[in-house]
Structure 1
Amino acid sequence: MTDPNASPPSVAPIIPPPREASWDLPCDPEAVAKARALAREALADWNLTAAAEDVELIVSELVTNAVVHARPPIGLTLYARGAAVRGEVVDHSTAVPRPVMVTLDEEYGRGLALVEAYATRWGVDPLPTGKVVWFVWSRS
């Protein structure tokens, strides 16, 4: 017989643990294509192909910035929980990236504007020997 005065069992929501993938990247232009391919593969494995195009673009821009403006080593980490993706690009430069205004005829300088347009939010956190540039993407 069940005790009528007993507390009901607590029911906690089931939250899946985040999925994670992390890679070290070379500090050369080929790293950008490699980072896009790794991101695409991880998102496919996590059944997040709807995020692939946007996340690949964001990863491409952030890794490009690390290759052009920072010092190695460069690291890329992606996390996913539900339909949200967080990405982090770590490099060993303390210079903080900032969006710049460019004219239509300029070839460079639009990367962070694209990150702002495609990411739900993004930012930069300092590290003792560099920084992490992070973004969050979630379905709008």
Structure 2
Amino acid sequence: MAYTIDHHPCEDSPRLGAMTLHPEPESVPRARRWFRKFIAPYNPACSIDDCALMISELVTNAMLHGRPEGAWMVRVEWFREGTSLRVEVHNPGCPANVRLRRPDADEAHGRGLLLVDSLAASWHSGPSRFGGTVVSFVMADAWPA
């Protein structure tokens, strides 16, 4: 199966990189590995571990909740916006389905967005420019001003 990685080492480009993943379990650790590898040259000051964890949660949610009409992929992109890092996860699901839950202690699932909400400076969900849904998070002060 083909996976794609778009890596833009050019400092002028706000998009630092992107990856397209098949909706399968191996894509979650693959997304973490690729993000770590391709963000490293930019040396962000924010926690790469926190970013990788949030990417894992959002890719998992994209695979679990995406509602494709045909074959589809999960797309992850990351951008430098001034001093911040913004990461987007795109899937073909409906934007109205994204919501922050507060699960009971005995529930095994439902904490992904709660984790993103607690670690990121901000997060957002809405329609994706590729169709479907995008969920993004921002890490403030990733680079000096």
**What TM-score, normalized to structure 1?**
0.80
Amino acid at match of 1:57: L
Deviation track 1:105-129 (CA, whole Å, cap 9, x = no partner) reads: 2111111000001111111121373
- Percent identity, aligned pairs only, is 34
Q: What residue number does 1:121 align with?
A: 122
Cα distance in 2 for partners of 1:88, 1:50 equals 16
Alignment length (residue pairs): 125
Cα distance in 2 for partners of 1:46, 1:82 equals 13
Amino acid at match of 2:123: W
Cα distance in 1 for partners of 2:55, 2:137 equals 9
RMSD of Structure 2 on Structure 1 (CA): 2.0
Cα distance in 1 for partners of 2:41, 2:59 equals 21
Change (3 A) 1:33 1:123: same
Are residues 1:74 and 2:90 paired? no
**What TM-score, normalized to structure 2?**
0.77
Q: 2:38 aligns with which of 25, 37, 42?
A: 42
Give 3-state SS (helix, strand or coil) of 1:115's partner.
helix
Q: Structure 2 unaligned segments of length 5 or more: list them.
A: 1-10
Cα distance in 2 for partners of 1:83, 1:42 equals 18
Is the contact between residue 125 and residue 133 of structure 1 (CA under 8 Å) also seen in structure 2?
A: yes
Is the contact between residue 123 and residue 136 of structure 2 (CA under 8 Å) also seen in structure 1?
A: yes
Amino acid at match of 1:108: H
Offset at 1:50? 4.0
Greater Rg over alpha carbons, structure: 1
Q: Structure 1 unaligned segments of length 5 or more: list them.
A: 1-15
The structure 1 segments of at least 4 consecutive aligned residues displaced by more than 3 Å after TM superposition are: none
Q: What residue number does 2:140 align with?
A: 138
Q: 1:56 aligns with which of 52, 55, 75?
A: 52
Amino acid at match of 2:21: L
Give 3-state SS (helix, strand or coil) of 2:47's partner.
helix
Offset at 1:81? 4.4
Q: What residue number does 2:8 align with?
A: none
Q: What residue number does 2:106 align with?
A: 105
